Amino acid sequence: MHFKKVVIIGVGLIGGSIGKALIQRGRADEVVGVCRRRSSLERAIAEKTLTRGFVDDYAKALPGADIIVIATPVHVIRGVLRKIAEVDVAGAVVTDAGSTKRDIVEFAREFKDKFTFIGGHPLAGSEKTGPESARADLFEGSVCLLTPDADVDKSGLDRLKGMWTGIGADVGIISPEEHDRNLAYSSHLPHVVAYALAGVLEEKFPATMFATGFKDTTRIASSDAGLWSDILLSNKDNVLEATAKFREILSRIEEALGRENEEDLKEHLRNYKALRDELF
């Protein structure tokens, strides 16, 4: 599927990678960016993630867009939707790349007479940030989850599917509620655990004492703390459910270890290994 114009609001790692992939694969005539700062816009254009762009000027950037992608932090998305609603974007499909969906989808319903909104979440990323980290191959072999309403415009959904498959992703359809609960376990909990594990570094150990296991497991603790605090707070109830489950499982291991019960300890470890091996 080819597009005349795609607009990306927020050209960091995800937004920049979408733009770079569309440009390199020849999927869009124009990839127009909207950034909050001139310096960010200049960096994004220099990295060839955009063909052109504007600094916080929605009235100039949006008209004529086939797809408008909001690739900002979660807590910014509502304000962006309000700004989009002030511009005539008739015919455009508006989507986002936020890591939580229920609240955003519910809020976007306020503007259903203004534009078609379909929530989205590409399950790809990095602990790195900024347009300099954007990669045209970031979404190859990944999954992008879309969370349309039951009465969604089918042609708009097909258009959005076409954009994601055109840059290498498989597309999954899921409800916003299912998305948020599933991601609490598969993405949000691992970040909480990685940050907590990195917290043991409050005890001072020589760097030479840490093998690749610790480095690999805590890699995502290098992710932006402001971004992740927003995500966790926006999915609080599901994340708390997931952390409670994690504590329960950790306590089983602790108990077996404390009792020096080798058989129970091995059984727990074997069971959890099998669960992981079955999935991956």
Alpha carbons within 13 A on the beta-carbon side of 222: 11
Q: Do both 8 and 74 map to the same domain?
A: yes
Q: Do both 194 and 146 map to the same domain?
A: no
pLDDT at 68: 98
- Domain range enclosing 183: 178-279
Quote the tokens at residue 131. Answer: 């347009």
Closest CA to 242 of 190, 280, 198: 190
pLDDT at 158: 97
Domain C-terminal end among 174, 195, 221: 174
Reading the chain (280 residues) residue by residue, the pLDDT tens digits are 899 999 999 999 999 999 999 999 999 999 999 999 999 899 999 999 999 999 999 999 999 999 999 999 999 999 999 999 999 999 999 999 999 999 999 999 999 999 999 999 999 977 777 888 889 999 999 999 999 998 898 999 999 999 999 999 999 999 999 999 999 999 999 999 999 999 999 988 888 888 899 999 999 999 999 999 999 999 999 999 999 999 999 999 999 999 999 999 999 999 999 999 999 9
Quote the tokens at residue 42. Answer: 């200049």
Q: Do both 259 and 135 map to the same domain?
A: no
Residues ≥6 apart with Cβ < 8 Å to 174 = 145, 146, 147, 182
Quote the tokens at residue 162. Answer: 């076409």
Quote the tokens at residue 107. Answer: 């809020």
Q: Do both 129 and 66 map to the same domain?
A: yes
Q: What is the CATH number of the domain that holds 110?
A: 3.40.50.720
Distance between CA atoms of residues 60 and 41, nearest Å: 15
Give the three-state DSSP class for 112.
coil
Quote the tokens at residue 234. Answer: 């926006």
| Cβ atoms of residues 9 and 150 within 8 Å | no
Q: Do both 117 and 32 map to the same domain?
A: yes
Q: Do both 7 and 48 map to the same domain?
A: yes
Q: Do both 182 and 170 map to the same domain?
A: no
Q: Do both 167 and 218 map to the same domain?
A: no
Q: Do both 211 and 270 map to the same domain?
A: yes
Distance between CA atoms of residues 238 and 186, nearest Å: 11
**DSSP for 237-263, written as a single string:** HHHHHHHHHHHHHHHHHHHHHHTT-HH
| Cβ atoms of residues 125 and 222 within 8 Å | no
Strand-pair category, 116-122 with 143-147: antiparallel
Q: What is the CATH number of the domain that holds 225?
A: 1.10.3660.10
10 Å Cβ neighbour count for 267? 13
User: How open is the CA angle 6-148-110, to the nearest 5 degrees?
Assistant: 85
Structural domain tally of the chain? 2
Q: Do both 18 and 153 map to the same domain?
A: yes
